[in-house]
Each structure stands twice: as structure tokens, then as C-alpha cells.
Amino acid sequence: MRPTLITCLALVALTAPALAQSVGERTGINSLTGAAPSTADFVKEAAIGGMYEVEAAKIAQQKATDEQTKKFAQQMVTDHSKANDELKAKAKAANVQVPAALDKSHQDKLDKMKSQNPQDFTKGYRSDMLSDHKTDVSLFERYSRGGDNADLKAWAGATLPTLRHHLQMAQDMNK
């Protein structure tokens, strides 16, 4: 029984890294040091971030208390839906799996948004979009500089101006 247990544990240890996000990206070390994420990490983070921003924006279109936030939300739906579709095509060509659903932390944030009153929602959404777009810009900058897939690297660089514009819009909303 002992050799079987050891074999099973060894198999789990060998396959777990392939299924999980790298430690550097998960812990934020890559961001702090400016290191490029792996292609798999980039695709995962970009896909989840894009899906989350579209879903959060759909809620914002219904719950936001002002037109500036609603206009921003519409821009997020338009731009991130387009980027999500492009990412899926690029990832498929690179044979990299794209997450089909949000991770638990992003789903929990959406669930919280749905239950908030409009005033609390608007304030939280604005702050969240500022934080998210800072993260997005960092991720895309790092991958466009040092990513290991040329097509995704070029796409990340071409997407950066839109993300920087979103960041500026989020900063303006939070003034």
C-alpha cells in the first residue's frame, strides 16, 4: 500500500503545477518585480479579468446612480467583450486553455454587488474598476514586454492603449 500512496502523491505533485497558476503571479511577486507572467497565467488572468469587468458593468448599467458611471459601464461591456473574443481566438491558436467561468473571488464580488443598494454599489464599483484597471495595465505591460508567445505578446501591446484609457476613465470617475 505504501508504494501506491507514494506513486499517487508523486503524480499529484507533478501535475498540480500544470493545473494551477504560477506562484509568482498568484502571490503578486511577478507584479512587484515587473516579471512577465507565463502565457498560461496571462491568458487566465486576462480572461477572468475581462469576464468580470463585463459582468460587473452589466450590473452597473442597472444599479449605478449617475450617468458617468453608466457610460463607463457601457464602454466596459463593449471593449471587454471585444477583447475577450480576441483573447479566446489568440489563446486557441496558441493551444492555451481559456477559463470558461469566473474564479470564486470574482464571482463572490459580483454576488456582493448584486445585493448592494445603488449608492453603495456605485461607490464600490468605481473603486473596484480603478483597482482592476491598474492590475490590468500592469499585467498587459509585463506580458507585452516579456511574454513568450509572440502573437499574444503583440495582442497585449495592441490592447494596452484601450486599457490605459479605461484606467484614465476610472481615475476621473473617482475624483
To the nearest whole number, what is the mean pLDDT of the chain?
Answer: 89
What integer is the mean pLDDT of 123-135?
Answer: 97
pLDDT of residue 6: 43
Per the CB < 8 A criterion, the answer to whether 50 and 61 are in contact is no
pLDDT digits (tens, 9 = 90+) for 54-77: 999 999 999 999 999 999 999 999
pLDDT of residue 16: 37
Q: Which three cell numbers stand for residue 155?
A: 495582442
Per the CB < 8 A criterion, the answer to whether 70 and 60 are in contact is yes
> pTM value?
0.84
Using CA atoms, how far residue 86 sits from 117, 158, 169, 173, in Å, is: 34, 11, 22, 27
* pLDDT surpassing 50 at residue 153: yes
What integer is the mean pLDDT of 96-103?
Answer: 97
**Nearest-angstrom CA–CA distance, 50 and 3:** 45
Q: Write out the H or E segment, with its range, that includes residue 28.
A: none
pLDDT of residue 27: 64
Percent of the chain exceeding pLDDT 70 equals 85
Name the DSSP letter for residue 1.
-
Q: How confident is the model at residue 33 (pLDDT cuts 50, 70, 90)?
A: confident
Helix (H, G, I), strand (E, B) or coil at 130: helix
What integer is the mean pLDDT of 156-175?
Answer: 98
* pLDDT surpassing 80 at residue 11: no
Per the CB < 8 A criterion, the answer to whether 63 and 119 are in contact is no
pLDDT of residue 165: 98
Domains of the chain: 24-173 (1.20.1260.10)
Using CA atoms, how far residue 73 sits from 87, 103, 115, 143, 169, in Å, is: 20, 21, 18, 26, 11
